[in-house]
């Protein structure tokens, strides 16, 4: 099921734009992430696609059908919330069956029971239907919530911060599992997250929002390797920021000359992620002194100070023999320059 948003806007209090002239195409069977800081409009977009809210301007189409004013009960969407929203007094099987019991034409009890067992098996909880939500873990509850959303055979699956209430290890496991489920079922899926790693790991396409507008959309490779603005670059991960001056197609980075990629002459800002800088005892680059070393399981994070007192972070191999107080040079392996 293809979803199209065309010039969609939503005003709060009649004047404040929560979503501002958003146009977006979500291809059939694709998994698309809406990513952005709090207040960027991502949840409002999800609610409008669900039919829980309605745009003040623009249209929302499901395939060839204008779904803009269709209420939620008739949209054929499955919704998974951050906090599960399971009924605590019902068993897991009863929770999954709840939506099916309201479908028309009505299914037989045997058909519903068979579908519940099928779905619990799909979400890797076979044989647990008699348990109650309080008797299983948070990660298992979220699996039950997904099974319940899938029970009504939705045309579109919507997920609102689905793993936000879980710890980091469980989130990693669940997002790998969700990708497997999506590939198996092929349901058009739209999910909201503020977790950059989650969006990049899961999605076919990432839509980055700021102040109710789309600032960039593309594959995870597109948005990470070719960020279109300083906001996108900084939002998607740690980045060191250096003020430079572009002259004749390049910029001075200490004793090194770096290509500016078509940026016009004048004041500019050079960005380099910690993995894009290397530490060297000498050579072309920006002089610096190691202030701290942060050891990680697979790397060492160096915190260095430039002569101007700016703090810079970069990654070094875990076997690197370095110590605080050591002087050396920051060499730029990769960088991106934007006009100031």
Q: What pTM was computed for the model?
A: 0.87
Distance CA 178, CA 231 (A): 29
Instruction: Based on the fold, state whether residues 228 and 242 are members of the same structural domain.
Output: no
Place of tokens 């299914």: 107
Domain with residue 273: its CATH number is 2.40.50.140
Distance CA 187, CA 1 (A): 8
- Asked whether residue 196 carries a pLDDT value surpassing 70, the answer given is yes
Instruction: Based on the fold, state whether residues 292 and 243 are members of the same structural domain.
Output: yes
Instruction: Based on the fold, state whether residues 66 and 152 are members of the same structural domain.
Output: yes
Residue 339 has a pLDDT of: 96
Q: What tokens does 152 get?
A: 């009504």
Instruction: Based on the fold, state whether residues 112 and 195 are members of the same structural domain.
Output: yes
**What is the band of 246 on the pLDDT scale with cuts at 50, 70, 90?**
very high
Residue 178 has a pLDDT of: 87
Q: What tokens does 20 get?
A: 């501002």
Q: In sequence order, what are the residues at sequence separation of 6 or more whose Cβ sits closer than 8 angstroms to the Cβ of residue 60?
A: 3, 4, 5, 6, 8, 48, 49, 66, 67, 68
Q: In sequence order, what are the residues at sequence separation of 6 or more whose Cβ sits closer than 8 angstroms to the Cβ of residue 64?
A: none
Distance CA 215, CA 236 (A): 13
Nearest to 228 by CA among 119, 84, 336, 105: 336
pLDDT tens for residues 59-95? 999 999 999 999 888 888 998 887 768 899 999 999 9
Domain with residue 181: its CATH number is 3.40.50.300
Residue 176 has a pLDDT of: 85
pLDDT tens for residues 250-303? 999 999 999 998 899 999 999 999 999 999 999 999 999 999 999 988 889 999
Instruction: Based on the fold, state whether residues 230 and 261 are members of the same structural domain.
Output: no
DSSP-assigned beta bridge partners for residue 290: 304
- Asked whether residue 165 carries a pLDDT value surpassing 70, the answer given is no
The Cα-based distances of 195 to 15, 158, 164, 232, 237 in angstroms read: 29, 16, 9, 14, 10
Instruction: Based on the fold, state whether residues 43 and 166 are members of the same structural domain.
Output: yes
More confident residue, 150 or 105: 150
**What is the band of 169 on the pLDDT scale with cuts at 50, 70, 90?**
confident
Residue 229 has a pLDDT of: 95
Torsion of CA 227, 228, 234, 236, to 10 degrees: -40
Query: What per-residue string of b and e applies to 37-65 under the rule 16 or more CB within 10 Å gives b?
Result: eeebbbbbbbbbbbbbbebeebebebeee
Place of tokens 């501002």: 20
pLDDT tens for residues 14-24? 788 999 999 99
Q: Within a 10 A sphere around the Cβ of 300, how many other Cβ atoms?
A: 17
Mean pLDDT of all residues belonging to the chain: 92
Residue 242 has a pLDDT of: 96
Q: Which of 234, 261, 293 is the last residue of a domain?
A: 234
Distance CA 145, CA 122 (A): 12
Per the structure, how many domains does the chain have?
Answer: 2
Residue 299 has a pLDDT of: 82
Instruction: Based on the fold, state whether residues 311 and 266 are members of the same structural domain.
Output: yes
155-180: average pLDDT = 83
196-219: average pLDDT = 95
Residue 133 is classified by DSSP as G
DSSP-assigned beta bridge partners for residue 227: none
pLDDT tens for residues 94-122? 999 988 887 777 788 899 999 999 999 98
pLDDT tens for residues 16-62? 899 999 999 999 999 999 999 999 999 999 999 999 999 999 999 99
Q: Within a 10 A sphere around the Cβ of 100, how many other Cβ atoms?
A: 19
Instruction: Based on the fold, state whether residues 191 and 265 are members of the same structural domain.
Output: no
186-211: average pLDDT = 94
Domain range enclosing 130:
3-234
Instruction: Based on the fold, state whether residues 229 and 259 are members of the same structural domain.
Output: no
Instruction: Based on the fold, state whether residues 267 and 202 are members of the same structural domain.
Output: no
Contact 238, 273 (CB under 8 A): yes
More confident residue, 108 or 167: 108
The Cα-based distances of 15 to 8, 19, 63, 193 in angstroms read: 15, 11, 31, 26
Instruction: Based on the fold, state whether residues 130 and 258 are members of the same structural domain.
Output: no
Percent of the chain with pLDDT over 70: 99
Distance CA 299, CA 312 (A): 16
Instruction: Based on the fold, state whether residues 333 and 275 are members of the same structural domain.
Output: yes
Nearest to 88 by CA among 19, 134, 124: 134
Contact 175, 93 (CB under 8 A): no
DSSP-assigned beta bridge partners for residue 205: 32
């Amino acid at each position: 099921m293809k979803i199209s948003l065309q010039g969609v806007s939503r005003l709060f209090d009649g004047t404040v734009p929560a979503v501002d002239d958003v146009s977006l195409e979500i291809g059939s069977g694709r998994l698309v992430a809406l990513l952005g800081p709090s207040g960027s409009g991502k949840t409002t977009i999800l609610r409008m696609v669900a039919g829980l809210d309605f745009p003040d301007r623009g249209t929302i189409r499901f395939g060839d059908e204008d779904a803009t004013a269709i209420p939620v009960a008739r949209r054929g969407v499955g919704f998974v919330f951050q906090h599960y929203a399971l009924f605590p007094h019902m068993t897991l099987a009863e929770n999954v069956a709840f939506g099916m019991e309201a479908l028309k034409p009505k299914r037989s009890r045997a058909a519903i029971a068979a579908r519940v067992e099928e779905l619990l098996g799909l979400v890797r909880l076979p044989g647990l239907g008699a348990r109650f939500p309080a008797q299983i873990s948070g990660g298992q509850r979220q699996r039950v919530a997904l099974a319940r959303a899938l029970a009504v055979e939705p045309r579109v699956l919507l997920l609102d911060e689905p793993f936000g209430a879980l710890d980091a290890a469980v989130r990693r496991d669940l997002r790998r599992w969700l990708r497997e489920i999506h590939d198996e079922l092929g349901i058009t899926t739209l999910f909201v997250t503020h977790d950059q790693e989650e969006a990049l790991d899961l999605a076919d396409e990432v839509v980055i929002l700021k102040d109710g507008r789309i600032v960039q959309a593309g594959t995870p490779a597109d948005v990470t390797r070719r960020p279109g603005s300083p906001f996108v670059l900084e939002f998607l991960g740690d980045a060191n920021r250096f003020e430079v001056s572009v002259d004749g197609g390049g910029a001075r980075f200490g004793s090194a000359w770096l290509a500016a990629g078509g940026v016009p002459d004048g004041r500019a800002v050079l960005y380099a992620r910690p993995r894009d800088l290397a530490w060297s005892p000498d050579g072309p680059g920006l002089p610096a002194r190691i202030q701290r070393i942060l050891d990680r399981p697979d790397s060492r994070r160096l915190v260095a100070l430039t002569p101007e007192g700016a703090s810079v972070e970069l990654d070094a191999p875990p076997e690197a023999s370095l110590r605080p107080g050591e002087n050396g040079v920051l060499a730029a392996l990769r960088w991106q320059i934007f006009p100031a």
